[in-house]
Amino acid sequence: MSKNPFINALLANGYISILVTIIFNSPRFITDNELGMMAPVIFLSVFVFSAATMGYLFVYKPFLLLLEGKQAEATKLFLTTVLSFACITVTVVLVYFLLSTFL
């Protein structure tokens, strides 16, 4: 997506947040009985789309750099993206638990 690992990690966290919000609020609109056989189809479709999205956000630019022969830059971009994602995720979880403790 971008050569900025922090932006890639933010986009990944944003995508996950939006997806979880939709899934969390879906019982208000759809019950399991209404979905029937469509539930596994929807689940697998969202899973495949999510894997493709995360692959694009985490792997696309490093892979292009690798093809250009820039192995060190590709490795650095991939690892800093993963580390940024981990730091953002840990920060969000810690803030959630701290806020839930005091509220």
Per residue in 66-84, pLDDT (tens digit) is 999 999 999 999 999 999 9
The pTM assigned to this predicted structure is 0.80
Q: What are the CA-CA distances from residue 31 to residues 2, 25, 26 (Å)?
A: 39, 11, 8
> Which amino acid is residue 37, in one-letter code?
M
Say if residue 68 is exposed, middle or buried (CB neighbours under 10 Å; 0-12, 13-18, 19+): exposed
Domain residues of the chain, as ranges? 5-22+45-102
Q: Name the band, by pLDDT with cuts 50, 70 and 90, for residue 33.
A: low
Give me 77's structure tokens. Answer: 């971009």
What confidence score (pLDDT) does residue 52 get? 95
For residues 38 and 77, give the distance between their C-alpha atoms in angstroms, rounded to a whole number: 39
What confidence score (pLDDT) does residue 31 get? 64
The kind and range of the H/E element at 51 are helix 38-67
